[in-house]
Structure 1
Amino acid sequence: MDTAFVIIAGEWIAFMAFIFSLGFLYGGKTERISKQYFEQSVLVFVLAIVVLTTIRLLAPGLLIVRVIPGTVLTGLTGVTLTTAGLLFATWARIHLGKFWSSMVTIKSGHHLIRTGPYRIVRNPMYAGMLAALVGAAVAVGELLAFVVVGIIVIGIWLKITAEEEILQEKFGEEYTRFRREVKSLIPYVL
């Protein structure tokens, strides 16, 4: 587990450095930002801290229970899922180009991206990041890791909802058609 965790942590650091450096170097001018998402994400973050702290105080050790055995196969599975997920998310980031933002925004000259991974799912960065998070949780193997993934899923779902609202407003029927034709996170399913 230790080697797998070090590899996964390195992959996440490289991924985050890549996406944010591209944003700083090539980011487009923001035309509109969703304040709703920012407020919701802060609320989820605060609630997560309160819940995790309460569990820690009332039942120390509860979330540190191993739910997946720490084997070489588990570590390999975790690393593989993380690598595949982050590569998929990187592919999406490249296709978004100057329209990417860590916040929910519309950029100047924004147009709907339907190339590369956006032909497969509407939210490929999130799909890839979720796969990578599940991979990390598998490698760690403890209940806490899966609880954290659950909290992040809630945050991502809030962001997807806010993005879809702002994109629907900006692109109208074009975005409605995209939503009908391409699933959100899992091809042909969800």
Structure 2
Amino acid sequence: MDTVLYIIAGEWIVFLVFIFSLGFVYGGKTERISKWYIQRSFLLFVLAIIAIIVIQRFEPGILLLRVIPDTVLSGVAGIVITTAGLAFATWARIHLGKFWSSMPMIKAGHHLIRTGPYRIVRNPMYTGMLVAFAGSAIVTGKLVAFIAVGIIVIGLWLKIKAEEDILLEKFGEEYIQFKRDVKALIPYIL
């Protein structure tokens, strides 16, 4: 189990170093940033912490309940799923180039990216990261990991909505058409 966790942690570290280092090297000038995203994501974070504290207070130990058995199969499945998700997110990061940012914003010279994974889903980095979080939760196998994935889904949905607002404001009908053509997170479904 420890080896599998080290592999997963290593994958996440490499991924995060990659996406943020490209941002430092190729980051462009910010034109507009979402005003409400920070407030709503902070509120979500506070509510999640409160919920976890309340659950732990009334049901001690339940968050550490193992819901996926610690087996070779779950370890391999978790590594494969995490790797696939991070590879997809990396592909998206490469296609996004200088328009990537960790916050919902418009960069100078911004245009809609509709190549590579952006032909499949509008938010491929989030799709890939959610797949990777699910793989990581499988490896951990504990209830708290799956609750964390649920909280991350809500957080990313808030971020998607903030991004959609500023992209709609910037690109208007072009973005509306993009939304009609390509689903947000799951190809052809959602």
Q: Is the pair's TM-score, using the shorter chain for normalization, greater than 0.5?
A: yes
- Partner of residue 63, structure 1: 63
3-state SS of paired residue (1:21): helix
Give the equivalent residue in structure 1 for 2:87: 87
Matching of residues 30-49 of structure 1 within 5 Å: 30-49=30-49
In the alignment, the residues of structure 1 paired with residue 47 and residue 164 of structure 2 have an alpha-carbon distance, to the nearest angstrom, of 24
In 1, the alpha carbon distance for the partners of 2:110 and 2:77 equals 38
Question: What is the deviation of 1:60?
Answer: 1.3
Matched residue, 1:127: 127
* Structure 1: distance between partners of 2:48 and 2:21: 28
* Identical counterparts, % of pairs: 69
Query: SS of the counterpart of 1:31?
Result: strand
Distance 2:68 2:21 in 1: 35
* Residues 111-155 of structure 1: per-residue CA shift (max 9 Å, x gap): 000001000100000000000000000111111100000011100
Shift of 1:25: 1.1
Q: Tell me the TM-score normalized by structure 1.
A: 0.98
Unpaired runs of 5+ residues, structure 2, are none
SS at match of 1:80: helix
Structure 1: 5+ residue stretches without partners: none
Aligned pairs, number? 190
Q: Structure 1 stretch 56-65 or stretch 32-41: which is displaced more? A: 56-65
Post-superposition Cα deviations, 1:8-59, rounded to whole Å, max 9, x if no partner, equal 1110111111111111111000000001111111111111111112222222
Counterpart mapping for 1:94-113 below 5 A:
94-113=94-113
Residue type of the alignment partner of 1:31 = E
Q: Which amino acid aligns with 1:11?
A: E
1:146 corresponds to:
146
Residue in structure 1 matched with residue 20 of structure 2 by the alignment: 20
- How many angstroms apart in 1 are the aligned matches of 2:185 and 2:136? 19
